[in-house]
């Protein structure tokens, strides 16, 4: 495997890993909010139970762990971004997915999680576990209501801010994924075009070396170029299907006549064969110029 292929494999691996990390980060934060919401609902529905507050320790601990995890991931993702942009330059691509979005996303998630942990800490250590006045007569009722209200306000604020932020990030990710898909399409199209280009060059090389094509070699040419109609512009398709193919047929006719007995017609075909060979040999550069704009990853 040559270096460009190695670079492209590394580039694709980075992109696939980037998409996987984005997907997993969104799923993890979504699952965390689902668990946190369930625990908060359980707590506020059972504030008269002493052990209800214990349910909040789960999202509190998970929040601490995930905030550290996302912070570490945000720092490490900077290295991946540098590698992706270096490979983009090597491969001559116009754009590359902005993997800095992953860094930004992980950073935002980490900040949100820290806010959640602070909120849970407030509820755990500042809000009485038992809001029942009969059981906790020494705690003023309005104090308990105020604490619960503040906790609810905190949850509302996080939800109100989190939803549009996640929506904006999702839109940006979708746009970048579109660009990644477009580049992949360009690369796939480039490979298919290159196969046709190399087949035609190989045919011209055989003609230059041997002065003729066997029937099998002519069939190989037709098979290799039959999809050119959909992969190249009309000018390339007409060149391969008519102009070049007609000359290949002419060469075969001239060669078959020259194998027969000497005659005036044979002399004419010998001269015509020379002109045909001269034309075919000159087509290396002509064909290169014709295909140049289609054989660029920037196209």
Which pairs from 37-42 meet CB under 8 Å and 24+ separation?
Answer: 40/155
Domain-located, residue 199? no
| Exposure b/e, 187-198, CB count within 10 A at least 16 = b | eeebeebeebbe
Residue 4 has pLDDT above 90, yes or no: no
Residue 236 has pLDDT above 50, yes or no: yes
Lowest mean per-residue pLDDT among 1-5, 132-136, 211-215: 132-136
pLDDT (0 to 100) of residue 135: 44
- Rounded Cα gap, residues 116 and 164, in angstroms: 17
- Concatenating the DSSP letter of every residue in 176-231 gives HHHHHHHHHHHHHHHHHHHHHHHHHHHHHHHHHHHSS--HHHHHHHHHHHTTHHHH
pLDDT band at 245 (very low <50, low <70, confident <90, very high): very high
**pLDDT (average), residues 63-77:** 90
Final residue of a domain: which of 138, 166, 184?
184
Residue 232's SS3 state is: coil
Domains in the chain, number? 2
pLDDT (0 to 100) of residue 155: 53
- The 10s digit of each residue's pLDDT in 77-129 is 888 888 888 887 877 776 677 778 888 888 998 999 898 889 888 888 875 54
- Rounded Cα gap, residues 42 and 25, in angstroms: 26
* Shared domain check, 108 and 24: yes
Q: What percent of the chain has pLDDT over 70?
A: 78
Domain-located, residue 48? yes
Residue 64 has pLDDT above 70, yes or no: yes
| Exposure b/e, 118-154, CB count within 10 A at least 16 = b | ebbeebeeebbbbbeeeeeeeeeeeebeebbeebeeb
**pLDDT (average), residues 22-27:** 85
131, 132, 133, 134 alpha-carbon torsion, rounded to 10°: -150
- Rounded Cα gap, residues 35 and 62, in angstroms: 10
Give the other-Cβ count within 10 Å of 236's Cβ: 22
Domain-located, residue 197? no
Domain-located, residue 193? no
- The 10s digit of each residue's pLDDT in 177-219 is 666 766 777 777 888 888 999 999 999 999 999 988 998 999 9
pTM > 0.75: no
Domain-located, residue 54? yes
- Rounded Cα gap, residues 195 and 296, in angstroms: 14
* Shared domain check, 117 and 233: no
Closest CA to 282 of 197, 204, 221, 218: 204
Domain-located, residue 117? yes
Residue 2 has pLDDT above 70, yes or no: no
Lowest mean per-residue pLDDT among 51-60, 230-239, 277-286: 51-60
Domain-located, residue 19? yes
pLDDT (0 to 100) of residue 199: 92
Closest CA to 187 of 85, 299, 97: 299
pLDDT (0 to 100) of residue 179: 67
* Shared domain check, 135 and 93: yes
Domain-located, residue 21? yes
**pLDDT (average), residues 152-161:** 52
- Rounded Cα gap, residues 120 and 251, in angstroms: 85
* Shared domain check, 133 and 223: no
The CA-CA-CA angle for residues 96, 102, 105, to 5°, reads: 140
- Rounded Cα gap, residues 63 and 158, in angstroms: 14
DSSP 49: S
Lowest mean per-residue pLDDT among 68-77, 152-161, 273-282: 152-161
Q: Provide the domain limits for residue 273.
A: 211-294
């Amino acid at each position: 495997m040559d270096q460009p292929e190695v670079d492209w494999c590394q580039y694709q691996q980075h992109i696939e890993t980037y998409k996987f990390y984005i997907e997993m980060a969104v799923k993890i934060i979504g699952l965390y909010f689902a668990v946190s919401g369930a625990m908060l609902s359980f707590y506020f529905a059972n504030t008269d139970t002493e052990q209800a507050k214990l349910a909040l320790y789960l999202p509190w601990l998970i929040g601490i762990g995930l905030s550290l995890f996302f912070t570490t991931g945000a720092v490490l993702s900077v290295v991946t971004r540098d590698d992706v942009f270096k490979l983009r330059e090597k491969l001559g691509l116009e754009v590359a997915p902005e993997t800095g979005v992953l860094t930004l996303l992980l950073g935002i998630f980490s900040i949100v999680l820290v806010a959640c942990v602070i909120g849970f800490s407030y509820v755990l250590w500042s809000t009485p576990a038992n809001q029942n006045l009969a059981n906790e007569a020494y705690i003023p009722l309005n104090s308990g209501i105020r604490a619960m209200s503040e906790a609810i306000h905190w949850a509302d604020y996080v939800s109100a801010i989190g939803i549009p932020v996640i929506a904006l990030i999702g839109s940006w990710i979708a746009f970048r994924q579109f660009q990644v898909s477009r580049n992949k399409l360009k690369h796939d199209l480039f490979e298919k075009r290159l196969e046709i280009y190399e087949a035609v060059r190989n045919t011209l090389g055989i003609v230059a070396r041997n002065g003729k094509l066997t029937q099998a070699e002519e069939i190989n040419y037709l098979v290799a170029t039959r999809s050119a109609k959909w992969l190249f512009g009309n000018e390339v398709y007409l060149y391969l299907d008519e102009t070049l193919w007609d000359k290949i047929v002419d060469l075969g006719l001239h060669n078959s006549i020259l194998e027969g007995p000497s005659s005036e017609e044979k002399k004419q075909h010998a001269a015509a064969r020379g002109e045909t060979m001269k034309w075919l040999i000159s087509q290396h550069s002509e064909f290169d110029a014709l295909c140049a704009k289609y054989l660029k990853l920037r196209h």
